[in-house]
Amino acid sequence: MRLVDGADAIRGDLPSASTIAVAVPLEAGEAQGTGVSRFSSIQLVRDRLAMTLSTIDGVAITIGGDCGVELASIAHVADEGELAVIWFDAHGDLHTPLTSTSTVFTGMVLRTLLGDGEPGLVPANPLKPQNVILVGARELDAAEETYLVDSRIPLLEAGDVTVESLLAAVEATKASRVYIHVDLDVLDPAEFEGLDSPVPFGLAAAKLVELIRAVKTEYELVGAGITEFAPTSPAQAAEDLPTILRLIGALAS
């Protein structure tokens, strides 16, 4: 429910003429023997969002909820040529139903987009590991670390990433189009509090804005997502919203 409140708070600060709400089922959904909690609801939200995105001309910024919204948003632009995906996140989101101990899908989203996951959620055209850049991840499980090594997905750490290193990583993908995913827990919880899973020593908001603007200067942005805003109160939401609006401004400008 905190994620619901967070998404509603963001929508309340955006122009109504430029926002479209996608209905999320009230019921939790069922795993249906998949190893993914709430599998049926995740499928339904994916399909509803995909339908909505098909009606939009131009670049869409998807506001979650959790990272699961990226199933539809990235699939929407992945079929139009080589695509680099920059995944700003404190976590790897690289589990499969076989390695996840929680069965919560937010820990599996990126791995599913890469083609390893529940067949009912894997996209028709999965991402290639060489086209993905993980930025700011600092809480990885052993299975995720092993996959990162084996797949050779670059990890740019929050304390070390620079404009130059990020642009070099995007250039190495040989893609001209970019999708930017922002899980807000990539930010340092010392300056952004509305997080469900805060991890110390994250990116400063100003640094994240700088990185986004630098990528947009050099590459075509074809989509973006902002997820995981989980304020505990309206007062906390009000404190964090200026940061989120700065990020949206950097993506939309």
Q: Report the C-alpha gap between 59 and 73 in whole angstroms.
A: 10
Report pLDDT for 159: 95
Average pLDDT, the chain: 95
- Looking at residue 149, its amino acid is V
Which residue has tokens 């190495």?
Answer: 172
Q: Report the C-alpha gap between 64 and 9 in whole angstroms.
A: 11
Report pLDDT for 247: 98
Report pLDDT for 173: 97
| Half-sphere exposure (Cβ direction) of 101: Cα atoms closer than 13 Å | 4
Q: Are 209 and 244 in contact (CB under 8 A)?
A: no
pLDDT tens digits along 203-238 = 999 999 999 999 999 999 999 999 999 999 999 999
Give the global pTM. Answer: 0.96
Helix ranges (DSSP H) in the chain = 2-12, 39-53, 70-78, 109-113, 142-151, 163-173, 205-218, 234-252
CATH number at 82 reads 3.40.800.10
Q: Report the C-alpha gap between 139 and 63 in whole angstroms.
A: 23
pLDDT tens digits along 113-143 = 999 999 999 999 999 999 999 999 999 999 9
Q: Report the C-alpha gap between 214 and 167 in whole angstroms.
A: 8
Q: Report the C-alpha gap between 112 and 96 in whole angstroms.
A: 7
Report pLDDT for 31: 86
Report pLDDT for 26: 77
Q: Report the C-alpha gap between 118 and 96 in whole angstroms.
A: 8
**Any idea what DSSP says for residue 129?**
G
pLDDT tens digits along 141-196 = 999 999 999 999 999 999 999 999 999 999 999 999 999 999 999 999 999 999 99
Q: Mean pLDDT across the stretch 64-79?
A: 94
- Looking at residue 98, its amino acid is L
Cα dihedral 49, 52, 54, 56 sign: negative
Our count of domains for the chain comes to 1
Q: Are 241 and 10 in contact (CB under 8 A)?
A: yes
Q: Report the C-alpha gap between 176 and 183 in whole angstroms.
A: 23
Nearest to 89 by CA among 116, 115, 107, 101: 107
Report pLDDT for 234: 94
Query: Would the pLDDT of 67 be above 80?
Result: yes
pLDDT tens digits along 83-101 = 999 999 999 999 999 999 9
Nearest to 38 by CA among 123, 125, 120, 127: 120
pLDDT tens digits along 234-243 = 999 999 999 9
Residue 132, domain extent: 2-252
- Looking at residue 200, its amino acid is P
In the structure, what pLDDT confidence band is assigned to residue 79 with cuts at 50, 70 and 90?
Answer: confident
Residue positions counted in the chain: 253
